[in-house]
Amino acid sequence: MKLRRSWRTGVALAAASLAVIPGCRPRKTAEVNAIVPSFKVNRPEAPLGSAVEVTYTWTAEPTAKKLGQDYRALVHFLDRNGMMLFEDDHVPTPPPSSWEAGKTYSYTRTKFIPVYPYVGPVEVRMGLYPPGKGERVALKGEDSGMREYKVAKIELLPVTENIYPVYKEGWHNPESHPENPSVERTWTKKEALVSFKNPKKDVVVYLEADTCFKCFPAPPVLAVSVGGKAGLTVPIENGEVFLKKLRVKAADLGTDDWVDLRLVMNQSFVPKLLNPPMNNDDRELGLLVYHLHVGEADRLGPLADVVDATPIVPTAPTKAPAKPAVKTSPAKKG
């Protein structure tokens, strides 16, 4: 009978073996810079695949030293065994090189939780690391090792806790981001339809997307409609990723069991037919969607930058112009 070790055991043994290799010495204790990282989430429990609002705070105490470069924020989410599930590394606002002693800096980001085969407690760790080579900053807090500081715990719930969506017509197959294969996104056609189970209460629609701005002859406009009664118009002014949060009242969802959510671009493009052609892609493309999530408003906690859906005014059908009367010459008498 063969004995098998788990991959975690193998990693642990490999790490232990490094301790006896000549030349592998423990890192010297660095002087702590009196900057305290902290993490606050709008709801401590969230389903896989949903969105949370995270407020990051960096408190530079009076004895904090000036940072010589714009470090990136390290944010790791780990399971109960200490294995990293996902991250939210980013550039803090404002950049760390501008931080001053005795001041506190806070900002909020929306984080979409990936879908993993894991539910349960998650430990959150933060830190600061240089964009290039170099060491992480020694901060003030509970260091879990490698200058990652324990700041919070959250609970991940099953994906079944979400409102169930069904993607219908107007969607191409999902594809990976060319620069980051872990990021998945999906192109729509000019119009795309998704339906979701009606919770019969107010909802918030999260839409994170962009498009090929330069591929349109004029700045494109996106219309989002929910239930055919309320929605939002989004002028797209550049090619950067944007995030919209749309609150829709229960009355606008109607009484049916399912609600239609439509994404309609005022124009589309075909990469192969551009002048000059972008590539050989002959699909009709409209919007590139990174995340589309619908959540029950009363379960989401405090939200920032939410807009209320406005009534959709039906447009009257355009009448064809009347054809001018054709004059006929009077018949000549014989």
Pick from 4-18, 217-231, 286-300: least confident: 4-18
Confidence at residue 314, expressed as pLDDT on a 0 to 100 scale: 63
Average pLDDT over the chain, rounded to an integer: 88
Q: How many CB atoms lie within 10 A of CB 12?
A: 12
Confidence at residue 8, expressed as pLDDT on a 0 to 100 scale: 38
The second-level CATH assignment, the architecture, of 163-311 is Sandwich (2.60)
Pick from 12-16, 37-41, 321-325: least confident: 12-16
Task: Look up the pTM and report it.
Answer: 0.82
183 band by pLDDT with thresholds 50, 70 and 90: confident
Which CATH number applies to 30-160: 2.60.40.1930, 1.25.40.80, 2.30.30.30, 3.40.640.10? 2.60.40.1930
Establish whether domains 30-160 and 163-311 are of one fold.
Answer: no
User: Taking residues 116-140, what's their average pLDDT?
Assistant: 95
313 band by pLDDT with thresholds 50, 70 and 90: confident
Domain definitions of the chain by residue range: 30-160, 163-311
Confidence at residue 9, expressed as pLDDT on a 0 to 100 scale: 36
Query: pLDDT by residue (tens digit) across 204-223?
Result: 999 999 999 999 999 999 99
pLDDT tops 80 at residue 124: yes
Query: pLDDT by residue (tens digit) across 251-305?
Result: 999 999 999 999 999 999 999 999 999 999 999 999 999 999 999 999 999 998 9
Confidence at residue 111, expressed as pLDDT on a 0 to 100 scale: 97
223 touches 230 (CB < 8 A): no
pLDDT tops 60 at residue 27: no
Radius of gyration of the chain (CA): 27
Q: Which of 57, 60, 62, 54 is nearest to 38 (CA)?
A: 57
Q: Is 221 helix (H, G, I), strand (E, B) or coil?
A: strand
Confidence at residue 29, expressed as pLDDT on a 0 to 100 scale: 67
In the block, residue with structure tokens 């002693």: 101
Q: Report DSSP letters for 172-218, one per residue.
A: ---EEETTEEEEEEEEB-SEEEEEEE--SS-EEEEEEEE--GGGSSS
Beta-strand (E) ranges in the chain?
35-41, 45-47, 51-60, 72-78, 84-87, 104-112, 120-129, 149-157, 165-167, 175-177, 180-187, 191-197, 203-210, 221-226, 230-235, 242-248, 258-265, 288-296, 306-308, 310-311
User: Taking residues 302-325, what's their average pLDDT?
Assistant: 73
Confidence at residue 177, expressed as pLDDT on a 0 to 100 scale: 85
pLDDT tops 50 at residue 25: no
Query: pLDDT by residue (tens digit) across 54-110?
Result: 999 999 999 999 999 999 999 999 999 999 999 999 999 999 999 999 999 999 999
Strand ranges across the sheet with 104-112: 35-41, 51-60, 104-112
Confidence at residue 3, expressed as pLDDT on a 0 to 100 scale: 35
